[in-house]
Amino acid sequence: MNAHPMNNIRSLFEPKSIAVIGASTDTRKIGYTVVNNILAGGYRGSVYPVNPSGGTVLNLPVHRHIKDIEDDIDVVCTVIPAPRVFESVQHCAAKGVKYNLIITSGFSEVGNSEEEKKIAAYALDHGMRIVGPNIFGIYSAASSLDATFGPGNILPGNVAIVTQSGALGLAMIGKTKVDNIGLSSIVSVGNKSDVDEADLLEYLMLQERTRVIFMYIEGIKNGERFITALNQATRHKPVVVIKSGRSARGAVAAASHTGALAGADEIVDAILRQNGVLRADSIKDAFNLCKFLASAPLPATENTLIVTNGGGIGVMATDACERHQICLYDDSETLKDLFSPVTPSFGSTKNPIDITGGANSASYDSALTVALNTKDIGASVALYCETAIFAAADLQKTLEEVYLKYAERGKPVLFVTVGGEDIENCITALSRKGVPLFGDVYEAIACLGCLYSYQRYLAAQSDSFEDAPIDIGPIDAICRKAIKENRYFLLAHEAQKIMEIIGITVPKTAVAKNLAEAIDRAEAIGYPVVMKIVSRDIIHKSDAGGVALDLENKDEVIDAYQAIMSSCKAYNPNAQLEGVEVAEMIQKDIETVVGARRDPVFGPVIMCGLGGIYIEVLKDVAFRSCPLSRREIMTMIKETKSYPLLLGVRGQEKKDMESFISTIVKISSLIRKSKTISDIEINPLMVYEQGLGAKAVDVRILLSKERGKLP
Amino acid sequence: MNKLVIAALRGSAGKTSLIVGLSKASGKSIGYIKPFGDRLLYSKKRLWDYDAALIADVFSIAEEPETMSIGFDHSKLRYMYNENTIREKVVELAAQMSAGKDILMVEGGKSITYGHSVHLDALSLARYLNGQLLFMIGGDDDTILDDIMFLKKNVDLTGIDLTGIIVNKVHNVRDFREVYLPELTKIGVRVLGVIPYERAFTYFSLRYLADKLFAKVLTAEHHLDRKIKNIVIGAMSGRGAQNKPSFRKEDRLIITGGDRSDMIVAALETDAVGIIITNNNLPPSNIISMAEERGTPLLLVNPDTYQVQRQIEQLEPLLTKDDPAAIELLTSLIREHVDLSAIGVS
């Protein structure tokens, strides 16, 4: 991640001084609430209200102008009307303010983008960073700073929240308090005219106090920088994200709401997963996850043990474990040896361990202590359906003690209790103490699944990115030639030439300008051959009757040539027909697709999956951002439903996976290194049996008008 | 045996229709060749001319349509033949195809000049075969006169047996006969028939359209022989469409995108003869099922709606083998309006 050259983001979270421009004595105004929250929150630095009217606010003297403050100012909160913000920003910059939190709204979110850009540009030119506009402020437990116009009394803790939505952020402040989630910080980024999520991650990922980062995102502006920041942050601590705008309608709502554009959800989803981000669908899921991850240690092994007093809830938990790819410890002999002493004879020592409806708090303590002491068990889940055998108060005490024992030994444990009022009270009480106690088995197991998923991600982080050496010079030359001809796509033979340069096998091909040449080329390549029209005016060759397949002799070549020329002339009488491409007719096998594009938001992304003519119908593809590791490539391939085809189904031989992976690596490297290529698609990439390689049958390459501008 | 070479100055004059009508009206056995094919069909590596396939089907000619043409593109003819060898090939082909037949119909290229550079234009064919040349001339009245005058004054027909001219697609036959015919007769043009314009010949079938547009037939393949009389672009809202007069015209084809479920449903509910789905945009499966249930063909094509409309505009409606009513109508028109005895086919 590139740290901003101007100043340290620490000043934003731990400022020595703060000024509130627009501070007010009117208790109904944001200018009052912000000052009040700063003071009530116990901020340890200096506070300077600013208002041309002067006077005092909450017993603090009000400065008429920021320049009147003698002290240096680290952070300013701007709460004045939008038309006056630019002038104020000028004064703040002159004063040497490091961060200006523009709480004021009325900028790009309502179409006033020019003013917003002007403010951000001016601030950056004068060494000041802007947060917002259109935000609710910042809370930072590190400096006991609550510079928001939220409800106040924020519970300090170790979850950091970054939100693009101000209103939702304010609501979350209240909700975290109810759910007993302590915050290390909460920041809204609003319209992100300057400071964005990537800047904040830079601080939060290294801040010891923060154990989990939760982000609510609507649109992403600088995707490549965001990906880099996420990738680094998730190596330090879990990052939970709600990315709204999944649906087309949702994306429109997001755009009109904050002025930011929401990216295509398939790409967003793939990139978040690739970078170890845990994506939540709802605030409730996200809070459950944050609360759990903030205190849960990482399991030492993938084996999970479930202890239950009821069969039904045990089965539900087992189902949930399968869904969330949680491995249940299944060494039946060992389980029997370990748990027989703590399980009634009519119970079960198979995982889930059923200590039966007659279990009391001691039974749970015993079983869970055995699990705690067993090295091969990485995490435990205790399920309790309310019975009359023991009182909820006992349960509460036992669960708390068990939790503390587990915490001390660094092993995760989750509790699920289902029952009436007493149980609900128990849940509330233990939740306040940070004990991971859930009222729903699926919610609990989902959290544990995320913990394992995060652990697997961390284990894979030692992998290096795959890269293919590419001689970009000749590739650029081919692209430049096309651009000089005012053409932003490559002709088939040009695309094939590029494939040859990067070492991807293509069928033997040659271009013929007339029938005699077509016959010569076909004879040289060897029958059977394929013939396709070459014309810059005909992109969809099949639609124009410009393709003939499986030509087995000279007579068939002659007929096909006539058919192609005649059909294409009829299809587009003005088309310039440059000849035909004669190519080796390739053997059929598994038709895959490998594509890459330079996404306007996220930069280079790669796609692989099932290719051929049904690609758009079946949509069995997976995306990743580039570059990516070999393990990530394999994960991407395995994500597609057609992956078993590559392993060989119904007696077929295994396919050449190495060639498939190698093609993905080469295309990923090409899209990253080329300055002009915007899209590449190989469809189909025919993958043959192991050892026989793969062939790029059809290659389309598009050039970027923006990046391809010639000097 | 008569060898009739049918020529035209311009494309779509009605040469093939004339051949079908004359042959039917004559009641004689016919052979057919079209040395320079121009309405080619290419499928499963076979190449043949549409007209040849039609004639072969209608008259149950045993020879394969592929054998009735020598070439379909200048490139092949230039590559394989010169003036002498092409003459030999034409004569050889004519001999093969006329064996045991009463009349050999020889169809020229799509215009009078077509094939001249490879020695296969209609006038060359007439010379090679010593056949009777018959010109089919169609269009509006002025175009017909222009073409006939041009032919009379500027085309060298030396060594050719010009039997006469047949005028086609005339909107008002009585006017033409009264106003223009005397003038033509005066300058020595032998007009052997004036055939009226018949709107029924301008309709084409869904099957023909599917072939020409390389369409994927999604539903109701058994109804592809339906004729299209009107075309509606489904760009308006589905509800709005049902109120449009154009949406109530008979035998109408709707062209719309696969994502326009409202329009497709409106078309299905108002019994459109067929629907072209553009942009290769597959409609939802329930819509496809609905079309199948109602027996309405859905044709999926790759180009967008505008391109499809342009392509359809450029299509020429052709006679089809599976339309006996049209063939019967054509035959009766020829019987009524053409002097068969002057041509020697009565």
- Cβ separation B45–A560 shorter than 8 A: yes
Q: What is the pLDDT of residue A259?
A: 25
* A117/chain B closest Cα distance in angstroms: 38
Q: How far is the C-alpha of B257 from the C-alpha of B283, rounded, in Å?
A: 8
Read off the tokens for A144.
């006991």
In this prediction the ipTM stands at 0.80
Rank A558-562, B233-237, B279-283 by mean pLDDT and report only the highest.
A558-562
- Cβ separation A562–B302 shorter than 8 A: no
Q: What is the pLDDT of residue A711?
A: 40
Q: How far is the C-alpha of B20 from the C-alpha of B326, rounded, in Å?
A: 11
Q: How far is the C-alpha of B121 from the C-alpha of B309, rounded, in Å?
A: 32
A574 touches chain B (CB under 8 A): no
A530 touches chain B (CB under 8 A): no
- Cβ separation A548–B42 shorter than 8 A: yes
Pick the residue of B75, B120, B282 with the most A CBs within 10 A to test the interface with A by mutation.
Answer: B75
- Cβ separation A542–B214 shorter than 8 A: yes
CB pairs under 8 A between A and B: 59
Pick the residue of A515, A577, A585, A617 with the most B CBs within 10 A to test the interface with B by mutation.
Answer: A515
Contacts of B80 in chain A (CB under 8 A): 558
Contacts of A558 in chain B (CB under 8 A): 76, 79-80
- Cβ separation A559–B73 shorter than 8 A: no
- Cβ separation A562–B73 shorter than 8 A: yes
**Residue B204 pLDDT greater than 70, yes or no:** yes
A333 touches chain B (CB under 8 A): no
With cut-offs at 50, 70 and 90, classify the pLDDT of residue B128: very high
Q: What is the pLDDT of residue A546?
A: 92
- Cβ separation A516–B282 shorter than 8 A: no
Let me know how long chain B is: 346
B27 touches chain A (CB under 8 A): no
Q: What is the pLDDT of residue A420?
A: 85
Q: Which residue of A has its CA nearest to B75?
A: A515
Contacts of B47 in chain A (CB under 8 A): 559-560, 562-563
Q: What is the pLDDT of residue A258?
A: 24
pLDDT tens digit string along B40-74? Answer: 888 888 899 999 999 999 999 999 999 999 999 99
Mean pLDDT, chain A cut into blocks of 10 residues (711 residues total): 56 95 95 96 95 94 95 96 96 96 93 94 95 94 94 91 89 86 93 93 93 91 89 95 67 33 65 92 92 93 94 94 94 94 93 92 94 96 85 84 95 92 84 87 96 92 84 94 91 91 93 94 95 87 87 95 91 90 91 90 89 80 91 93 90 92 97 92 94 93 73 40
Question: H/E/C letters for each residue in B307-338?
Answer: HHHHHHHHCCCCCCCCCHHHHHHHHHHHHHHE
Q: Map residue B280 onto helix, strand or coil.
A: coil
The span from the first CA to the last CA of chain B, in angstroms, equals 13
A562 touches chain B (CB under 8 A): yes
Share of chain B above pLDDT 70, in %: 100
Q: Which helix (H) or strand (E) holds B292?
A: helix B285-294
Q: Map residue A46 onto helix, strand or coil.
A: strand
Contacts of A540 in chain B (CB under 8 A): 302-303
* B114/chain A closest Cα distance in angstroms: 14
Read off the tokens for A617.
């119908």
Q: What is the pLDDT of residue A264?
A: 63
A615 touches chain B (CB under 8 A): no
pLDDT tens digit string along B166-200? Answer: 999 999 999 999 988 998 898 889 999 999 998 88
Query: Which of B42, B79, B282 has its CB closest to that of A515?
Result: B79
Query: Which of B47, B79, B214 has its CB closest to that of A563?
Result: B47
Which amino acid makes up residue B48? W
Chain B 238-267, CB below 8 Å of chain A: which residues?
A: none
Contacts of B44 in chain A (CB under 8 A): none
Contacts of A551 in chain B (CB under 8 A): 45
* B267/chain A closest Cα distance in angstroms: 24
- Cβ separation A515–B214 shorter than 8 A: no
Q: Assess contact for A108 and A193: CB atoms under 8 A.
A: yes
Q: Assess contact for B31 and B131: CB atoms under 8 A.
A: no
Concatenate the DSSP letters of all residues of A536-552 into one string: TT-S-TGGGT-EEEEE-
Contacts of B280 in chain A (CB under 8 A): 616
Exposure class string for B90-111: b at 16+ Cβ within 10 A, else e = beebbeebbeebebbbbbbbbb
Q: What mean pLDDT is predicted for residues B98-106?
A: 95
Q: Which helix (H) or strand (E) holds A354?
A: strand A353-354
- The closest of B200, B210, B286, B285 to B251, measured between CA atoms, is B200
**Residues forming a β-bridge with A592:** A610, A685
Q: Map residue A234 onto helix, strand or coil.
A: helix
The span from the first CA to the last CA of chain A, in angstroms, equals 30
**Residues forming a β-bridge with A50:** A21, A63
Q: What is the DSSP letter of A460?
A: G
Q: What is the DSSP letter of B282?
A: P
Q: Map residue A197 onto helix, strand or coil.
A: helix
Q: How far is the C-alpha of A18 from the C-alpha of A147, rounded, in Å?
A: 9
Exposure class string for B195-223: b at 16+ Cβ within 10 A, else e = bbeeeebebbbbbbbbebbbbebbbbeeb
B149 touches chain A (CB under 8 A): no
Query: Which of B38, B76, B282 has its CB closest to that of A558?
Result: B76
- Cβ separation A560–B280 shorter than 8 A: no
- The closest of A54, A8, A18 to A39, measured between CA atoms, is A18
What is the residue whose two structure tokens read 């660094």?
Answer: A410
Q: How far is the C-alpha of A552 from the C-alpha of A557, rounded, in Å?
A: 8
Side-chain-facing half-sphere of A426: CA atoms under 13 Å: 25
- Cβ separation B45–A551 shorter than 8 A: yes
For residues B174, B178, B179, B183, the Cα torsion angle rounded to the nearest 10 degrees is 130
* B213/chain A closest Cα distance in angstroms: 7
Kindly give the pairing relationship between strand A677-687 and strand A694-696.
Answer: antiparallel
B75 touches chain A (CB under 8 A): yes
Higher pLDDT, A4 or B78: B78
A566 touches chain B (CB under 8 A): yes
Q: What mean pLDDT is predicted for residues B291-316?
A: 89
Q: What is the pLDDT of residue A386?
A: 85
Q: Assess contact for B115 and B121: CB atoms under 8 A.
A: yes
Q: Map residue A640 onto helix, strand or coil.
A: coil
